[in-house]
Amino acid sequence: MTGATPLLTRLQAQIALSGPISIADYMAICLLDPDHGYYTTRQPFGASGDFVTAPEVSQLFGEIIGAWLIHTWHVIGEPSPFVLVEFGPGRGTLMKDILRTARVSPGFNDAVHPVLIEASERLRGVQAQTLGGDASRVTWHDGLDDLPDMPTLMVSNEFFDALPFRQFVKSGTRWLERTIGIAPDGGLRFQTGINIADRTWLPPDVDADAEPDGAVLEVSLAREAVAADMARHICARGGAALHIDYGHDTTGFGDTFQAVRNNQYADLLAAPGQADLTSHVDFQALANAASAAGAKVSPVMAQGAFLLGCGLLERAGALGRGQAKAQQARIEADVQRLAGDGKDDMGGLFKVLCFAAPARPPLPPFGSN
């Protein structure tokens, strides 16, 4: 066991008092505890932080998302005014790049009310700093409930993966919840506990009974509830949503719980509050939730295909034109990282979910459903 963090001490006391906790509870405490949580107290992003996200790789990412939003705004009838809301904005880089891109479209730029939904007070400050002059146009909210009643475009990058999920392990005919308890040496450890008698937890589209012993199923009611809320919001007011994250496009089995610190995988339980905790997003579950809430959901695309379909290469070419060779090589490497299929690239692992109010026309580059 490495040096005790304040959260470790607190979790040990809590578990000793009231028993093992779910991965979802562990994650919620580690990420968002007001005094010692990861997002509330640390500086996670960038090369000097714990991990690098797509908007931090290159401005190209936010510019392409911005271009998609402008196009979509035209397709849905140029509502004015409208809300553009980003969930979990991190350093605020994506919104900064979107708003800069928006200046090419005066209609969009005049009509937009930018909103950031962010749980961490500290990160709200960082976002305001990143946005600079644009910060005065932005309002911060805790959730969707109190947003202005207007048509709404939504966007997020690596937001859903940070929402809590639970794991269940197959044991004979039962699915036991994987929980976190206390090891004999006093540290935290995984254990399997309670059987889930309620089989509505099991996803409808997969044959859970056919899985071998030890199979791991990840379920996130939090993520599904948020996707459903977003969809209801858009169906009531008009608009569309674009959510990007890493994960799989169909529900599957496997343990994807991960901790990242200093750009490396870290122990999940050793230093609660000091590493980022995420798991792969089940896009089929999100799509089902949005669809059940009434939205029209497009077929999920890989990030690479989405960015290329939106003109990433053309934009990269324009950005590199007349630049020094080294700068052009950097842009090429960024394009590869964002859209490529290599092991360290984001193009294949990351997926894009788009849904919209039901009566809308097709939203390129998504195929129709």
Binding marks (x or -) toward ligand SAH, 243..272, rule CB under 6 A? Answer: ------------------------------
Q: Which residue, 20 or 88, is less far from ligand SAH as judged by CB?
A: 88
Residues with Cβ within 8 Å of residue 104, at least 6 apart in sequence: 70
Q: How far is 354 from 369, CA to CA, in rounded Å?
A: 11
Give the count of beta carbons closer than 10 Å to the beta carbon of residue 5. 16
Is residue 239 within 8 Å of residue 357, measured between CB atoms? yes
What are 347's two structure tokens? 């193009």
Q: Are 283 and 247 in contact (CB under 8 A)?
A: yes
- CB-nearer residue toward ligand SAH: 28 or 206: 28
3-state SS, residue 150:
coil
Can you tell me which of 8, 30, 162, 287 binds ligand SAH, judged by CB under 6 A?
Answer: 162
- Residues between 73 and 92 with contacts to ligand SAH, criterion CB under 6 A: 88-90
C-beta closer to ligand SAH: residue 89 or 239: 89
Which residue's CB is nearer to ligand SAH, number 160 or number 175? 160
Q: Answer yes or no whether residue 305 interacts with ligand SAH by CB under 6 A.
A: no
Q: Which amino acid is at 44?
A: P
Residue 176 in the binding site for ligand SAH (CB under 6 A): no
CA distance 229 to 289: 9
Q: Residues 26-65: x/- map of binding to ligand SAH (CB under 6 A)? A: ------x------x-----x-------x-xx---------
Distances (CA, A) of 20 to 26, 116, 167, 181, 193: 10, 35, 14, 4, 8
Exposure class string for 173-198: b at 16+ Cβ within 10 A, else e: eebbbbbbebeeeeebebebeeebee
Stretch that binds ligand SAH, among 13-21, 66-74, 76-84, 117-125 (CB under 6 A): 117-125
Which of these ranges, 72-80, 118-126, 179-187, 212-220, lies near ligand SAH under the rule CB under 6 A?
A: 118-126
Decide whether 131 or 169 has the Cβ nearer to ligand SAH: 131
Nearest CB to ligand SAH, comparing residues 117 and 180:
117
CA nearest 246: which of 304, 199, 189? 304
Our CB check for ligand SAH shows the closer of 175 and 283 to be 283
Asked if 119 touches ligand SAH (CB under 6 A), the answer is yes
Q: Does 158 bind ligand SAH (CB under 6 A)?
A: yes
AA identity, residue 316: A
Q: Which of 83, 123, 301, 302 binds ligand SAH (CB under 6 A)?
A: 123
Closest to ligand SAH by CB, 211 vs 345, is 345
Contact between residue 363 and residue 356 where contact means Cβ atoms under 8 Å apart: yes
CA distance 338 to 19: 43
Q: Decide: helix, strand or coil at residue 341.
A: coil
Interface with ligand SAH includes 177 (CB under 6 A)?
A: no
Return the range that interacts with ligand SAH (CB under 6 A); candidates 95-103, 133-141, 152-160, 264-272. Answer: 152-160
Q: Among 105, 157, 192, 279, indicate the residue that binds ligand SAH (CB under 6 A).
A: 157
User: Which CB, 94 or 290, lies closer to ligand SAH?
Assistant: 94
Task: Please report which residue ranges of the chain form alpha helices under DSSP H.
Answer: 6-18, 23-32, 38-41, 54-57, 59-75, 93-102, 106-111, 121-131, 221-237, 283-292, 303-309, 312-320, 325-339
